[in-house]
Chain A
Amino acid sequence: MKQLNIALVGQPNVGKSMLINSISDSRLRVGNFSGVTVEKAEVSFDFHGVSIRIIDLPGTYSLNDYTQDERVTKEFLENEDYDMIINVVDATNLERNLFLTTQLLEFNKKMIVALNMMDEAKKEGMCINEEQLGNILGVPCVKVSAATKQGVGKLVNRIVDFSNFDFEGTKLIYSEVVEEEIRNIVEFLEEKNFDSKLDYRVLALKLLQEDKSTYKKMHDEPIWIELLPIIREALNHLYLHYNTKNIDEIFDEEKAAFAKGAALETLECSTCKSINTTEKVDSVLIHKIFGIPIFLFLMWGLFQLTFEVGSIPMDWIDAFFISLGEYAKTIFGDGALGSLIADGAIAGVGAVVLFLPNIVILFFGIALLETTGYMSRVAFLLDGFFHKFGLHGKSFIPLVTGFGCSVPAYMSARTLKNDKDRLITLFIIGFMSCGAKLPVYVLFAGAFFGPEKAGNVLFAIYIIGAILGLIAAKILKVFVFKGKDEPFVMEMPKYRMPSFKLIWHTVVTKALMYLKKAGTFILAASVLIWFASNYPKNEELIGSFETKIQLAVSDEEKTSLENELKKAKLEASYLGIVGKATEPLFAPLGFDWRMTVALETGLAAKEVVVSTLGVLYALGDEVDEGNGSLMEEIRKNIPFASAVSFIFFVMIYLPCFAASIVFAKESGSYKYLAYLFVFTTSVAWIISFIAYRITLMLL
């Protein structure tokens, strides 16, 4: 069967995703472009005996190396093997979109222009003559509407038809000034009957555009000596005419003029009522006074949904995995195998699946914000503030999400298109204390400040964390991700009704991606941690405790002995050994070995810090942060200054395993995870040290 590879290219927000969805009902395969965290969606289907594969390239305004998305698209178009380009164009923004089209024409590939959003264009009273546009561009143009599916069938037919024709080459007509110089060069080449694989016109253009490889090749040709003066003169003409010596700029200007001309000739507005709803909505949503409160309210709503409503299925999932673990133990016994399956594997998978409701709800909200066009308004409103700290207006959403859970927070940082902005944001998300750190704070605040003051202390902890995060961002910006500020130029798209199909698609994609990528790693990591906290087993110790437990008279004595055993076991495990060995590192912060071990188990998940402390203070692992006797023990055993220092450490150090893995995925490299580890640990150490010393002094 004939195979047809098609690259779908267009500016952001022109409806590419929606078009690919309405072209085929077969499932989209979603992954990443190799080496970068840019989403790659493709769909394959058969049509009239042709096997068609469409690849959705990231939206890009032009083909420069400005953002990662642009680089990915450009590299794909330059280096990959494909048969045809479909350029999706927003018909309601014709001129701007045609600028990209002119750049695409230069690849000299078969191309079809899909004029999307025709339904909207009609509503706005626009009439586009696609035949004429096709003639001007030299490629077929098809009117479609991805939303109403009108013209989509015709587009697919056209693709197949067009693939059967021989390709004649695309042709961009420049202004008379440039065309004259092209003619001069072509004439000379014709006179010389120069032997060239490239079309003379294409060759002439490459020479005028100072294409390096063409120059290298032509340099070795005998006609070069004669050709050179002609080129030189041609360039001089152009420089003079355009009043600049930058040839890229000249050709950009040419293309812009071409796009403008093409739009002017083919676009007719019967009424051209520019629809004002966007402006009306904007007058409220980005109002100087009300804009930010409205946004905060919406965020608050999204958060309530994500973490309050999300906690309901989370409880079910949690309960399900716990009972599954218990069930597994009844099958595999209480021994090593049972423990590995129940406490290692099932608990690990449970920890992965647990975040799913959060991710689904949050991404539903974010997709809603993005497809309606509100996200850009958020950036507009907040950029002024965040820019002061080296961040971007869009950093807000990942950062605030970080207060709930770092996992979806890292994932949502993808809305930041610029590498540096995204990396800085990723690095400081951990400073926003996630929900899992709350139990630790509640425990310590309760133990040392009493119930009346605990609330204020908690609030202060969160605020201090956020402020430290902003300072850290600034420091990273100045010392690590330094260099010139990336300019901030962002489209404010029209408000659109959300398409639930599209949102659903985004949410499913995110959820699957999370399960697939993070799931495997988190599972492996949980098994590893299970192993480290259970081995080596000291049979002698267990034996001696078991006889004691059997001899115990009262239930009370029994429980206390069981708790002693748990403590002894943990102490003897690899984790305990590591904890004790690393104690000197934390001694300057005032931590004893128990606190050190608790911090280290906290790498698995922050909730574990509390249960580890429970075990280490021989209260068993069934304790939670509200447990009175644990608070009592902590107050008795931990000096106040050490407790303050501990809170700061927990506030800043590496987020849990699940989050760390997602961080590595989203930052694009494990190298960054190593940096994050070093960065957060050293910052946590320094801040805790300072806090410890100051508290000691004040006391």
Chain B
Amino acid sequence: MVTLADLKAGESVKIINVKADKDLKQRLGSFGVRKNSIVKVVNHSIAKSTIEIEVATTKIALRAQEAKEIEVEAL
């Protein structure tokens, strides 16, 4: 399964499943990261430990650990 953590900067994908637990799911949801939304990977920090993504007009940063829980598919 491809997850958000596997992508290169500049790639856009559609989210098909957010596996995370309730807290994280709600958190991501309040930023607009939920099933069916389109996200774009903008940037990585050193060693890919932190990932910056763009959802609609919002840019957010998350750890690779969390990004692994977001399953995506190519557009």
Contacts and interface: CB of A to CB of B under 8 A. Distances in A.
Given A380-B52, A487-B66, A491-B58, A253 B34 contact: yes
B50 A383 contact: yes
Interface string A80-97: 000000000000110110
A584 interface: no
B1 interface: no
Interface string B16-47: 00001011111111111011000000111111
A492 B61 contact: yes
Contacts of B58: 93, 96, 491
B62 interface: yes
A61 interface: yes
A488 B23 CA distance: 11
Interface residues of A, number: 40
Contacts, number: 111
Nearest to B64: A384
Interface in A222-248: 246, 248
Given A256-B34, A380-B61, A490-B61, A62 B43 contact: no
A692 B22 CA distance: 50
A423 interface: no
A66 interface: yes
Given A286-B43, A488-B62, A489-B62, A252 B57 contact: no
Nearest to B25: A249
Given A95-B32, A100-B30, A489-B28, A379 B49 contact: no
A616 B54 CA distance: 64
A200 interface: no
Nearest to A100: B30
A62 B29 contact: yes
A491 B28 CA distance: 11
A383 B60 contact: no
Given A95-B56, A485-B65, A488-B66, A384 B45 contact: yes
Contact of A96 (B20, B22, B24, B32): B32
B59 interface: yes
B8 interface: no
A246 B22 CA distance: 10
Contacts of B23: 64, 66, 487
B59 A489 contact: no
Contacts of B46: 288, 292, 381, 384
A248 B25 CA distance: 11
Contacts of A288: 44-46
Contacts of B31: 61, 96, 489, 491
B62 A490 contact: yes
B57 A93 contact: yes
Contact of A489 (B27, B45, B49): B27
B57 A96 contact: yes
A630 to B, nearest CB: 47
Interface string A490-519: 111100000000000000000000000000
Contacts of B35: 253
Contacts of B59: 278, 491-493
Nearest to B24: A487
Contacts of A384: 45-47, 49-50
B50 A64 contact: no
A488 B75 CA distance: 26
Which of A92, A246, A383 has the most chain B CB within a 10 Å cutoff?
Answer: A383
Interface of A: 61-62, 64, 66, 92-93, 95-96, 99-100, 246, 248-249, 252-253, 256, 274, 278-279, 282, 286, 288, 291-292, 376, 379-381, 383-384, 387, 393, 485, 487-493
Lowest 9 A-B CB distances belong to which pairs?
A384-B49, A62-B30, A61-B30, A492-B59, A487-B24, A380-B61, A488-B63, A64-B26, A489-B62
19 contacts: A64-B23, A64-B27, A96-B32, A96-B57, A253-B34, A253-B35, A256-B29, A274-B57, A278-B59, A279-B42, A380-B45, A383-B61, A384-B46, A488-B61, A488-B62, A489-B27, A489-B60, A489-B62, A491-B31
Given A248-B22, A393-B50, A492-B61, 14 more contacts: A61-B31, A62-B30, A64-B27, A256-B34, A278-B59, A286-B43, A384-B47, A384-B50, A487-B20, A487-B23, A488-B50, A491-B59, A491-B61, A492-B52
